[in-house]
Amino acid sequence: MTHGTLGGLLVTDLVQGRDNPWRGLYDPGRQPLRAGGEWLRENVNAVLQYRDWVRPAQVSKVEDISPGSGAVLRRGLHRVAVYRAGDGAVHAYSARCTHMGCVVRWSSEEKSWDCPCHGSRFDARSGVVLNGPANAPLEPYPLEDGD
Ligand code: FES
């Protein structure tokens, strides 16, 4: 009840451009000091995941991917997330996560593309977002003959 009243007062002041003494205390972007260690650990982990851009590809050709499985290929500067369905159909997308650009990884348990940075998941066949924070699908990647 108390916080509902405070919320009403805060929102009214924010909408009208007035200062409010509780603004900093209830700011959704605040970082409590005791959470600093955890925040730092999570962000260092996310930054380390960008190493995938310079690592070797998992496989070099689509034919090396077992039916019903996926792998990340390298094509020049691009990383391509390729899913080879059980019926042999090939679904290829840019492996760049649409949230903040980490390289997605194949999840054999979920049969989806999962981002190691913040946990977004994408459908293997369509590239659509299954779980955020990403809010846009993976971009289709046109494979050429011989890929
Ligand atoms: S970069 Fe944030 S979820 Fe992929």
Q: What is the pLDDT of residues 17-53, one digit of tens each?
A: 998 888 888 887 776 777 778 778 877 877 777 777 7
Give yes or no for a contact between 49 and 43, defined as CB atoms under 8 angstroms apart.
no
| Among 69, 64, 122, residue whose Cα is nearest residue 97 | 122
- Give distance in angstroms: CA of 104 to centre of ligand 1: 8
- Give distance in angstroms: CA of 91 to centre of ligand 1: 21
- Give distance in angstroms: CA of 83 to centre of ligand 1: 19
For residue 145, what pLDDT is reported? 65
Indicate whether residue 116 lines ligand 1 (CB < 6 A).
Answer: no
What is the tens place of the pLDDT at every residue in 90-118? 999 999 999 999 999 999 999 999 999 89
Indicate whether residue 111 lines ligand 1 (CB < 6 A).
Answer: no
**Side-chain-facing half-sphere of 15: CA atoms under 13 Å:** 6
For residue 146, what pLDDT is reported? 59
| Among 53, 65, 69, 49, residue whose Cα is nearest residue 124 | 69
Query: Is 127 a residue whose pLDDT tops 80?
Result: yes
Segment 42-66 mean pLDDT: 80
> How far is Cα 79 from Cα 93, in angstroms, rounded to an integer?
9
